[in-house]
Amino acid sequence: MIRIFIDSDACPVKDEVYRVATRYKLHVFVVSNRMMAVPASPLIERIVVDAGPDIADDWIAERVQSRDIVITADIPLAARCVEKGAYVLEHKGRLLDGDAIGMALAMRNLMTDLRSAGMITPGSATFGKADRSRFLSELDTLVVKTRKQPIRLLPPNG
């Protein structure tokens, strides 16, 4: 059974995830370190973790399995989930798979190094209607594709 995990702090596409999950009857975990309103549905589970760096990320990474879908813009969390065979989708609709995650990690590390050296780096572009539409389309396509795939068993160490 495919599940969806939302790294929900600052996630602008929760409503879109709820719509797709309801359509396909998928369980959704909305993970954050503070109380957050979620629709009353047996498919949607709010998880509130302790405050602190990476605690929500750790909760997701410890529970995610092959074929699950994770919604996050957090690149290190994305890498951990991809390593476990999950699919990761950013809120702007970019799929972070095994091919893309290495480049995303390298770019994140480069930008962190530049900021540490005092350089001013450009922020991310604003989130707009086109991004929301692209995300919804990509999530729907990903769910359909994932449901058609056979279950992949990872080796005990993977």
For residue 115, what pLDDT is reported? 62
**Domain residue limits at 89:** 3-148
For residue 18, what pLDDT is reported? 97
Residue 98 covered by a domain = yes
Report the DSSP beta bridge partners of residue 132. none
Query: Residue 19, class by beta-carbon neighbours within 10 Å (0-12 exposed, 13-18 middle, 19+ buried)?
Result: middle
For residue 151, what pLDDT is reported? 62
Residue 154 covered by a domain = no
pTM (predicted TM-score)? 0.81
Of how many residues is the chain composed?
158
> Rounded CA gap, 100 and 5, in Å?
20
Q: Which 3 state secondary structure label does DSSP give 103?
A: helix
Which residue from 69, 35, 38 is spatially nearest to 51, judged by alpha carbons? 35
For residue 30, what pLDDT is reported? 97
Domains identified in the chain, total number = 1
For residue 53, what pLDDT is reported? 83
Residue 89 covered by a domain = yes
Rg (Cα) of the chain, in Å, rounded?
16
Chain centroid to Cα 142, Å, comes to: 12
Q: CA 10 → CA 31, 38, 50, 121, 131, distances in Å?
A: 11, 14, 17, 21, 15
CATH code for the domain in which residue 72 is found? 3.40.50
Residue 155 covered by a domain = no
pLDDT tens, position by position, for the chain (158 residues)?
899 999 987 799 999 999 999 999 999 999 999 998 999 999 999 999 998 888 999 999 999 999 999 999 888 899 999 999 999 999 999 898 777 666 656 565 555 665 677 767 566 668 789 999 999 999 999 999 998 876 655 556 55
Residue 73 covered by a domain = yes
For residue 42, what pLDDT is reported? 96
